[in-house]
Amino acid sequence: MGTRLTPFAHDSRRAADTCALSLKWSFQLLLDLGGHRNLISRHGFNDDDLAREVGLAKWVERDEYSPPQALSALRRAARAFEASNPDTPYPDRLESNLEALGTLLGLEEAELRVLGFCVLMHIDPVLCDATDQLGMVGFNRAIKVLAVLLGLQLPEVEACLANNSPLIRAGLLEVGSNSRASTALSSMLSVSNQELPGLLRFSKGTSLDLFAYAFRLSPPGSLSLEHYRHIKQPLNIAERYLAKALAQGRQGVNILLYGPPGTGKTQLSRLLAKSLNSALYEVACTDSEGDPVQAKQRLCSLRAANSVLRSQRALLVLDEIEDIFQTASTDAHSRSQKGWINRILEENALPCFWLSNSIEAIDAAHIRRFDLVIEIPNPPLAQRKQMLRECGGGKLSDQLIEHLSAHEQVTPAVLERAVRVGRSLGNRASKTLDTTIRCIVDGTLKAQGLEKLQHDGGSGLPTFYSPQWINADHALDGLIDGLRVHPQARLCFYGPPGTGKTAFGQWLAQELGKPLMIKRVSDLVSPYVGMTEQNLAGAFERAQQEDAVLLLDEVDSFLQDRRKARQSWEVTAVNEMLTQMESYQGLFIASTNLIRDLDEASLRRFDLKVHFGYLVTAQAQALFAAHLKALALKDPHHSAANRLRGEARLTPGDFAAVARRGRFKPFTSADELAGALLAECRLKSAGQQRPIGFIH
């Protein structure tokens, strides 16, 4: 361990970081390499603090200043220092840490000397200031400076700073990207991470502890393969591929995992590492103080991990990679940055998981270099329910589980955290617990810009619903049996509003035992170019993953006659819709009030087109009787029912609207109920007869 040198300037605030070796190199920089020409100017010192540190304090304070005399004083101070410090070892634990690092990475003596100098240059302000006195230096000049200071040959120094040198490959040092440009030596030769100099100088841990800034052992995962049933096939492929890669020591093995935040990407990497009996190391995305690490530093850390851990049976994981690829696209030196990333993808020694919430920012040239690209979507409905029952421990009501799992965009991480917080406040099953969890989830959804939970849950169908109350031009009795045998179908339900199109779709899904995914125009249409098409594709893809019945309401907005289109995006939206309909492997239902506005090509693609009309008298009477029974109302002489006989425009939707009103303003008689239904019909008639503008 090096002996602290009593500084020449006793009141120096930098004395604690200054060592004898730094002062030795500082004198060499100033005298042997010409730094004094910049330090000792005609009218004073360029850096008063540095002048004090190297024995020129009295000249800083003296009124009569003489450059030749100051230079002579500097030379005397150098000779005195050399006489009193025949040995100038590395300070603190720098020497032992460098030796340990050399053993770990197989570094040569010359490489250790270069690294040791760079460490002190970036942690010792005196040495850093002394190098600055050289002014702007080019790459060749920098090599000569290091050769003089470190007692090395020029080819040795040049080899240490080459792009393929161990110091560069391990991400320990960075050399300025433009070797022809002149810059300060401390800028040309930089350490990859600001924590590295301190760790190398003072750390008392193992050699691996020196890379605490770069990577850390990942904690064990908490999920099982059962939680990833929805990606079983790509997961099996990844597991088998990684097993062979580890056994054969393959280089350049990279797997891209992408999907919304909270869908379990990190947990999946931990699960795969466990199944392969391999250690998993996380490349740090934050520093020791929790602040984000810049993209370039993260890539250096990745290179360090590959160099340090290459002899181990290990996997790496790099999370939140969006900033890395965004930087590569926007950086002034984007071409060299892209090339650097491509080399890492092709040459990394250990298999690596790259995790992203969105791949929009990743260039196609990078994506094609990944061996496997796996989307991690939100689990389907059945899995979300199972997960809620597991983490809820039987404390969540069935109604809450239905509400939480029904939201397509609530991720496992959000659900798990909300349940954990809710249960910490009250571990017993209660309405309060349900309300608390619902509030937590709604708060997260709002912050993410997503719709809040639907509080009614369920399908919305009344308990006494029957398809017999639908006036369709096709017999619906055998439809459900046929769909059980052949579940892939494209159905078009058309007719006036309220005739039961959506409700029948809900009933079909319920009878088939499948979740129902209802999408409306507001869910899919976007003002941004191309987003409507993406939303359409996403809806079909999500329904496929969920094995759901997809019901698209107001489908005329997406399948309008292309001959009437005024904008190009209107045509592309129709084309996208037709493409998705053709490829969808499930039950797709489209509903519309405007069948005549649909594109002719779309009509040919529907396997069955069903017209939903107004209720016939018998249906209206039966539905009226069912509502009376549900409301415990009597109509012994059928006088109220008879009032409806003359109404030809009654729909199941009218009954639903009146029933909703009855929840807050209950009906007291059958006549009152009949009157409300007739009022609904009059409103429809009035709407059709309403004059426009000044025309009467």
Q: What is the pLDDT of residues 480-490, one digit of tens each?
A: 888 988 989 99
Q: What angle do CA 646, 647, 648 make, to 5 degrees?
A: 110
Q: What is the pLDDT of residues 46-87, one digit of tens each?
A: 999 999 999 888 888 777 788 899 899 999 999 999 999 989
Average pLDDT over residues 431-436: 86
**Residue owning tokens 């090395």:** 152
What pLDDT is attached to residue 31? 94
Check residue 508 and give its pLDDT: 92
- Give the pLDDT confidence score for residue 694 in this predicted structure: 40
- 33: pLDDT confidence band, cut at 50, 70 and 90? very high
Structure tokens that stand for 85 in this block: 């410090």
What is d(CA 209, CA 216) in angstroms, rounded to the nearest whole number?
A: 9
Please provide the average confidence, as pLDDT, over all residues in the chain: 86
Question: pLDDT exceeding 90 applies to what percent of the chain?
Answer: 40
pLDDT band of residue 44 (cuts 50, 70, 90) is confident
Is 688 a residue whose pLDDT tops 70?
no
Q: According to the model, what pLDDT value does residue 561 have?
A: 60
pLDDT at residue 396 in the model:
86
Region for residue 393 given its phi and psi (left: phi exceeds 0; alpha: psi -120 to 50; beta: otherwise): left
Residue 695 has pLDDT above 50, yes or no: no
Which secondary-structure segment (H or E) carries 49? helix 48-53
- 3-class DSSP assignment, residue 589: strand
For 26-46, the DSSP string reads: HHIIIIISSTHHHHB-SSSBS
327 pLDDT tier (thresholds 50, 70, 90): low
Check residue 408 and give its pLDDT. 79
pLDDT at 457 over 50: no
Lowest mean pLDDT among 331-345, 356-370, 652-666: 331-345
Least trusted range by pLDDT, from 335-344, 453-462, 554-563: 453-462
Given this model, what pLDDT does residue 400 score?
86
pLDDT reported for residue 499: 93
Look up tokens 């433009």; give the residue. Answer: 178
Band of residue 460 on the pLDDT scale cut at 50, 70, 90 = low
CB 112 within 8 A of CB 102: yes
Q: For 667, phi and psi rounded to 5 degrees?
A: -80, 140
282: alpha, beta or left? (left if phi > 0; alpha if psi -120 to 50):
beta
What percent of the chain stands above pLDDT 70?
Answer: 91
Band the pLDDT of 181: cuts 50, 70, 90: low
User: For residue 7, what pLDDT is reported?
Assistant: 41
Residue 288 near residue 391, CB atoms below 8 Å: no
Q: Picking from 524-528, 566-570, 609-613, which range would have the lowest pLDDT averaged per residue?
A: 566-570
Residue-level length of the chain: 696
Q: What are phi and psi of 314, to 5 degrees?
A: -145, 155
Give the highest mean pLDDT range of 21-35, 182-196, 389-403, 561-575: 21-35
Model confidence band, residue 331 (pLDDT cutoffs 50, 70, 90) = low
Is the pLDDT at 633 greater than 70? The verdict is yes
For residues 288-312, give the mean pLDDT. Answer: 85
Task: Look up the pTM and report it.
Answer: 0.75
- DSSP codes joined into one string, 476-520: -TTHHHHHHH---EEEEEESSTTSSHHHHHHHHHHHHT--EEEE-
Confidence band (pLDDT; 50, 70, 90) for 612? very high
Q: Nearest-CA neighbor of 281 among 256, 261, 310, 259?
A: 310
pLDDT at 1 over 50: no
Helix (H) or strand (E) segment spanning residue 505: helix 501-512
Q: Flag whether pLDDT at 281 surpasses 90.
A: yes
Q: Which helix (H) or strand (E) holds 474?
A: none
Angle in degrees, 0-180, between the axes of helices 398-406 and 381-392, rounded to the nearest 10: 140
Closest CA relative to residue 176, chosen from 186, 302, 125 = 186
What are the tens digits of pLDDT across the range 671-683?
999 899 998 888 8
Contact call for residues 186 and 121 (beta carbons, < 8 A): yes
Q: pLDDT at residue 8 above 70?
A: no
User: What's the CA gap between 209 and 637, in Å, rounded?
Assistant: 90
Beta carbons of 29 and 98 less than 8 angstroms apart: no
List the one residue out of 448, 449, 501, 447 whose CA is nearest residue 471: 501
Angstrom distance (rounded) from CA 178 to CA 188: 9
Coil, strand, or helix at residue 349?
A: coil
In this structure, what are the phi and psi dihedrals at residue 472, rounded to the nearest 5 degrees? -110, 155
Angle at which helices 125-132 and 20-27 cross, to 10°: 10
DSSP classification of residue 292: B
Indicate whether 577 pLDDT > 70.
yes
Cβ–Cβ < 8 Å for 465, 503: yes
Q: Please compute the mean of the pLDDT values over residues 441-469 and round it to a whole number.
A: 78
119 has a pLDDT exceeding 90: yes
How confident is the model over 22-35, as a mean pLDDT?
94
Residue type, 574: V
pLDDT on residue 223? 86
- Rg, Å, the chain Cα set: 37
* Phi, psi (deg, nearest 5) at residue 366: -80, -45
Query: Interior CA angle at 169 toward 166 and 171, to 5°?
Result: 110
Q: How far is CA 557 from CA 163, 376, 562, 586, 611, in A?
A: 58, 31, 11, 22, 18
3-state secondary structure of 490: strand
Structure tokens at 59: 């000249």
The secondary structure of residue 692, as a DSSP letter, is -
**Spatial separation of the C-alpha atoms in residues 488 and 587, rounded to whole Å:** 5
d(CA 77, CA 83): 10
> Do residues 412 and 379 lie in contact, with contact meaning Cβ atoms separated by under 8 Å?
yes
- Which residue, among 11, 101, 107, has the nearest Cα to 52 in the 3D structure? 11
Greater confidence (181 vs 217) lies with 217
pLDDT at 328 over 80: no
| pLDDT attached to residue 320 | 87
Q: What angle do CA 563, 567, 571 make, to 5 degrees?
A: 55
Phi, psi of 274 (to 5 degrees): -65, -45
